[in-house]
Amino acid sequence: MSAEPRLAIEGLQIRIGGRQVVDLAYLRLGPGEIVGLAGESGSGKSMTAQAVLGLTKTIGAAVAGSVVFEGIELVGLDDAAMRDIRGRRIAMIFQSPISSLNPVFRVGDVFVRALRMHGAPSKSEAVERAKAALREVLLSPELLERYPSQLSGGQAQRVSIAMALALRSEVLLADEPTSALDVTVQAEILDLLRGLRDETGMSVLFISHDLAVIAELCERVAVMQRGQIVEEGIARDVLTTPTEDYTKELVASVPRIGGGAVA
C-alpha cells in the first residue's frame, strides 16, 4: 500500500481576477507512482501543475490551500527555496516540446547552466552529466550542440525529460507532453517515462485530455471538470466503470476500434 505521499495537494484554490478557476479538494502522488490528471481544455489541469511550482504568479493568479512536497509546504514558499525545488526536485515538461526550448540558445547551453545552477561542481562535470542523461533517453550526446529548431518534436521532448533525469528530480509534472506528437513517437515517450519511473522511482503527474494515453500509462487517475476533481481512483476502474456522469461522458467520447472497453 501507499507510504507517505510524495506530493499532497489539499484544498487548492486558484483565483484569476476574481474568478475561481481551480477548487481542488485533494490529490496525492506517491513515490514511484504515475498518476493521471484527466479533463478537457479549460478544466484547470495545467493551472494546478503550475501552481505546484509557483508559476502562476506571472498571470496574476492568487493561490490558496496546501501543496506539501516531502514535508515542505509549497504554497507561499519563499522565492529562494522555491527556486531550489524547481527542476532539482520537481521538474515540469510542457506540451509543445520545441517551443519549450529557447530558440536562440543551443540545447546544451541551457541544460548545462541548469545543472551548474543546481549544484554541478564544474562545467565539464555538468556537460558529462548532460551527455549521460541524453544517452539514457536514447539520444545522441551531440544533440547538445544543436539548436531546438534542428530537433524533431520527439527529440525535443526527450531533451526536456533528460533534463529532469540529469537533475535527479523526484517528481515530474508532465503537462500534455505527448499531445503534440505523432502516435508512434508518443508511444516511445510513454515507454521512456515508464522506464524512468522503474529505474529511479520518479513520480509522475501526467496531465492529458487523452483518456486512451492515460489508460495506457497511469496507475491512478483523477478527472477534473471546471477546476474540481469529480472522480478519482485506480485508472482501470475509473475508466472502465466510471461512477460520475461527467466521467461517463468523457469515456464514452473516446473513439474505439470495434467497440469494447478501453484497455
Instruction: By CB under 8 A, name the one of 33, 56, 185, 207 that touches other proteins.
Output: 56
Residue from the set 42, 141, 153, 233 that interacts with other proteins by CB under 8 A? 42
For cell 500509462, the residue is 217
Is 262 a residue that touches other proteins (CB under 8 A)?
no
Total residues at interface with other proteins (CB under 8 A): 55
* Contact residue for other proteins among 11, 64, 72, 105 (CB under 8 A): 105
Residue closer to other proteins (CB basis): 57 or 248: 57
The torsion region of residue 89 among left (phi > 0), alpha (psi -120 to 50) and beta comes to: alpha
Q: What are phi and psi of 230, to 5 degrees?
A: -95, -25
Candidates 3-11, 133-141, 159-167, 236-244; binding stretch for other proteins (CB under 8 A): 159-167
Could you tell me if 63 and 233 are in contact, meaning their C-beta atoms sit under 8 angstroms apart?
A: no
Residue 211's H or E segment, with its range, is: helix 211-217
Tell me if 44 sits within 8 A of 224, measured CB to CB: yes
Could you tell me the smallest distance in angstroms from the CB atom of residue 171 to other proteins?
A: 12
Q: CB of 38 within 8 A of CB of 209?
A: yes
Tell me how many degrees the CA angle 95-98-100 measures, rounded to the nearest 5: 60
Nearer to other proteins, 93 or 139 (CB): 93
Interface pick for other proteins out of 74, 92, 126, 181 (rule CB under 8 A): 92
Query: Side-chain half-sphere of 98: how many Cα atoms within 13 Å?
Result: 13
Residue with cell 484497455: 263
Given candidates 9, 30, 94, 193, which one binds other proteins under the rule CB under 8 A?
94
Q: Would you count residue 32 as binding other proteins (CB under 8 A)?
A: no
Binder of other proteins out of 1, 3, 60, 71 (CB under 8 A)? 60
Please identify which residue in 51, 85, 171, 204 interacts with other proteins, judged by CB under 8 A. 85
Distance CA 164, CA 202 (A): 10
Instruction: Report if residue 253 touches other proteins, rule: CB under 8 A.
Output: no
CB atoms within 10 A of CB 103: 9
Residues that bind other proteins (CB under 8 A): 16, 19-23, 41-44, 47, 50, 53-60, 79, 82-88, 91-96, 99-105, 110, 113-114, 117-118, 147, 149-150, 160, 163, 167, 226-228
